[in-house]
Amino acid sequence: MELCASRVLVVEDDPLVASYLCDLLDEFGYICALASSSSDALWLSATHRPDIAILDIHLNGPTDGVTLARGLRDWRGIPVIFLSGIYDDTLIAQAKLTNPARFLHKPSRATEIVGALEAAALESEIPAASGREEIEPFCR
């Protein structure tokens, strides 16, 4: 059995990137919940209890990914991987203060994304994937 996060919350407001990430995660046996805003992400984290989250920094709505990462970590204990196209040193420094499991820059290769999830799973003692159970609104 693979050591990987079974449920991944993807928070991405670009529909093409979001679709790619969910398809990629599904291909590797992860269960993916998709949110395009911080408010949707908080609701999904409360109702579906993901093991880990992949966040963009810039999101639709008033709350950015850095603030969301703090909330997921502090309120829910969910480790975060940032996947962002931001190259602003100040914003990256703020994101790193949230103690993310990893910080990846867009575009990232599939192997980098999956490798980051696997490494974060080992470091955070996240349970192994249990198969492809279907949980709405998690994508297949």
Phi and psi at residue 55, in whole multiples of 5°? Answer: -120, 140
pTM for the model stands at 0.85
pLDDT tens-digit readout, 70-120:
999 999 899 999 999 988 889 889 999 999 999 999 999 999 999 999 998
Q: Identify which of 29, 36, 25, 30 has the alpha carbon closest to the alpha carbon of residue 7.
A: 30
* pLDDT of res. 124: 76
Judged against a pLDDT cut of 80, whether residue 133 lies above it is answered with: no
pLDDT tops 50 at residue 136 = no
Output 121 or 41, whichever has higher pLDDT: 41
- Amino acid 87: pLDDT: 83
Domains and CATH numbers, the chain: 7-124 (3.40.50.2300)
How is residue 136 written in tokens?
Answer: 């709405």
Neighbours of 114 (CB within 10 A): 19
Q: CA-to-CA distance for 56 and 9, rounded, in angstroms?
A: 11
